[in-house]
Structure 1
Amino acid sequence: MKIKDVQAQVLQSYEYPTGGWVLVRVRTEDGVEGLGECFVPDNKGRAAFAARDLITGSFAQSLLGRDILDIAASWEALYGVCCSIYDRRGLAIHALSGVDMALYDAAGKSLGVPVHKLLGGAFRDRIPLYISSVFIDLDRFDDALRATADYVEQGFGGIKYYGWPDFGQKPTRDQDLLRQLRQAAGTDADLMLDLGRPHGLAAALQTAQMIEDSGARIFWWEEPLSTSDDADNMAQLTARTALTIAAGESELTAFAFRELVQKRVVDLLQPDLSWVGGLTEGRRIGELARLHRIPVVPHNWGTQINFAASVHFVAALPDGFLCEYPITPRSRGAGHPQVFVADTATPQIPSPMMTALASVPVVVEKGHAWVPQGPGLGIELDEAAVKKYTLP
């Protein structure tokens, strides 16, 4: 079961027309092919192509001839490449993530077992999903209310919101709108906020208090401050508000998450398997979080490949309870990357990376994902769709 070939191709969709994902294929001498994905969201350059070239160049040279089951050793070899080019927290880790994911898929297929078996086994056979994400356009707020009610009717137990660029600057208005969202969702659904980027700790504390006082019972507030650039203030915010503060999607490797855990920077960790270092690092982060009793809900804004990997990951977490489901139309940001505006040029459809890329996707029913039981990740690609969305 030696690795024979490593290939990669850049995928694009309407939200990332210059390339946003790198599809990784690792093949063995026995003809087994493993699939992986790394997310490189670059709308203005060719970062995804740089990741692709690293995968098919230095990474491939380090992997050829290795046993497909030696995943941990392969990860360390690739991390050594990252260190050799002085990129332990950047694009190289994104690339490593996609390769690591493909190694797990190939190993599972070689053994005839699902990926969650390689992670220690599944604690559950289906995973509750939360909708990611309903865009808040204040000029069309009723659209968000209708979407909220519709998703709850479909059986989803959680909904996350983004957009709303001036969130927190008009407290009375914002509290009223939060209450309307709660009314539309009913009493049982969880509501999450991925919006409002206060400038500093004082403003963040004021906004957090406003959210609490609204009575909307928000489950978590996501990345109100930067964990990478403002970890100390984020830790103070976490300690001084009753809100659950969630973050971690911007962090790379378990080393970065060690800092978040040791300093208790957040209440809930959100590693993204397609850039944190793959399933290998996800597993380490899960163990680290469990030892410190911090819940983990993986971030996912990718394709069916990362979605499948995330479902296996959550299934294998002893305390896993929720997975992100990026199935809404995606509005792209303008200006500052954290400020979102309505984009009339963006098709109002879910990303084809979730709806068209796989001929056999993860099965979703009544707000839950069934944990795939087939070999590897348990999904199959639609090669015609892959060809359609591949950039040369």
Structure 2
Amino acid sequence: MSTIRSLRTYRIPDRPSLIWLEIETSDGLVGLGETFRGAAAVETCLHEELAPWLIGRDARQIEGISRHLLTPYVGYGSSGVEVRSASAVDIALWDLAGQRQGVPVYEALGGGARMSVPVYNTCAGYAYNTTGKRRDIGTGDEAQGPYDDQVAFMRDAGALAKSLLDEGYKAMKIWPFDIYAPASGGHLISLPDLEKGLQPFRQIREAVGNRIEVMCELHSLFGGHSALRICQALEEYNVFWVEDPLCKMDDAAGLADLRRRTRVPICGSETLGGLRPFRDLLAADALDVVMLDLAWCGGFTEGRKIAGLAQAYNRPLAPHDCTGPITLMAGLHMALHAPTAIYQEVVRATLATWYRDIVTVLPVIQDGMAQPPVAPGIGSRLQDSFKQRADLIVRESR
């Protein structure tokens, strides 16, 4: 028996979007989970709604716990607070499962499908949205360090591509169209703005040719007409995918229509929670690449079912992380395990800086490939120094 004894959450004021969860069990183990966005609301849900039901239950019954937490009376749709809270719990429970078995999570899931995973660099810089605010780059923005890649792709994407290739990265993701969405709510993009948004892709191809793959992120900001115009304009640059082109990404009919009318592959979606939205999109032939975020979709338990759907539809899988270090570790485990996984997302700026201040272990990347974690469970813990921060917000339920 491995009974859940307590739930502890951790938040910090300078990263208000992030929350970490520790689940302690009667056999002396501690499992670590994480989720992102609305951290204060997630904290309330974990302690007020979930903890009274979880405490005293067998932590080994992961599937049963997942089914209960992902099907509340309300709040089960997409990646709302209830689902994000359930995701943090599930990641922590799989961390515990790996620790009990003495193996990394990807082995506890059934073993690896590959020995390492290609990564791509999301060019987000040091604090893209962990502060709780979007960061859109204009002409007056100054780089905050050598890896402030969001400034770099808006200024000289070709030089940025060369920098990434020099470090072994063979793929990158940028979003130069985002700044043109607010004026019309994403429903209109003019030809001058379209040309300005295409400039970084042109710079990359002129600087390095086809030596690097380029993904375009649209962040669910655009309507059907403007998304189609962008996608068709990107065709000549041989982009690897266009990600989350429509608002919102549960629109199976709209995505299927877009996909039929453009040659660029469509990727989606980090924003979806649970199995059914992915089923609907795949059944509608609306996606070329399946992206999931384990801290939003329901954790490993739901994530491996989504990976199974991707396999059944012969679609590649690409775990998301532009949020936090434990989500990154979880995504890497899934990418090692899932048969059709092709990439794990990373942000070199956060890998080099504040991720290291939070957790003890991060993925090892060699020549653009993430190596498998070796420690049992998720393979990383919260740093002792992090737990000693004077501004740390800690809450415990027993």
Same fold (TM over 0.5): yes
Deviation, 1:158, is 0.7
Give the alignment of 1:228-307 within 5 angstroms.
Answer: 228=249, 230-307=251-328
**Aligned length in residues:** 359
Q: CA deviation at 1:198?
A: 6.8
In the alignment, the residues of structure 1 paired with residue 19 and residue 219 of structure 2 have an alpha-carbon distance, to the nearest angstrom, of 30
What amino acid is aligned across from residue 375 of structure 2 in structure 1? G
Mapping 1:346-357, distance limit 5 Å: 352=354, 354-357=355-358
Q: Which whole-Å CA distance do the structure 2 matches of 1:371 and 1:145 have between them? A: 31
Tell me how far apart the structure 2 counterparts of residues 351 and 97 of structure 1 sit (CA, whole Å).
25
Asked which structure has the greater RCO (Cα within 8 Å, sep 6+), the reply is 2
Measure the CA separation in 2 of the matches of 1:232 and 1:38: 30
What per-residue deviation string (whole Å, max 9, x for no partner) do you get for residues 316-351 of structure 1?
01122210002337xxxxxxxxxxxxxxxxxxx966
Task: Could you tell me which runs of 5 or more consecutive residues in structure 1 were left unpaired when the two chains were aligned.
Answer: 41-46, 330-348
Asked whether 1:119 is paired with 2:109, we answer yes
- The two structures, once aligned, show a CA RMSD in angstroms of 2.4
Aligned to 1:60: 51
SS in 2 for 1:26: strand
Q: Which residue of 1 aligns with 2:180?
A: 166
Match of 1:94 in 2: 84
Q: Residues of 1 paired with 2:3 and 2:300: CA distance?
A: 19
3-state SS of 1:253 partner: coil
Contact preservation (8 Å) 2:250, 2:277: no
The one of 223, 230, 241 equivalent to 1:207 is 230
1:9–1:390 Cα contact (<8 Å) kept: no
Q: Which has the higher strand share?
A: 1
Q: 1:145 aligns to what? A: 158
Contact 2:124 2:347 in 1 (8 A): no
CA distance in 1 between partners of 2:313 and 2:4 (Å) = 40
Structure 1 residue 189 displacement after superposition? 1.3
Partner of 2:123, secondary structure, is strand
Conservation of the 8 A alpha-carbon contact between 2:69 and 2:82: no
Identical counterparts, % of pairs: 28
Q: Distance in 1 between matches of 2:123 and 2:352?
A: 10
**1:4 to 1:230, Cα distance in 2 relative to 1, 3 A:** closer
Partner residue of 2:170 out of 151, 157, 167: 157
Amino acid at match of 1:391: I
State the 1:175 CA deviation: 4.1
Shift in Å, 1:367: 1.9
TM superposition score normalised by structure 2: 0.83
Of 65-74 and 245-254, the range deviating more from structure 2? 65-74
Unaligned runs of 5+ in 2: 126-135, 140-150, 182-188
Distance 1:321 1:86, change over 3 A: closer
Q: Is residue 33 from structure 1 mapped to residue 30 from structure 2 by the alignment?
A: yes
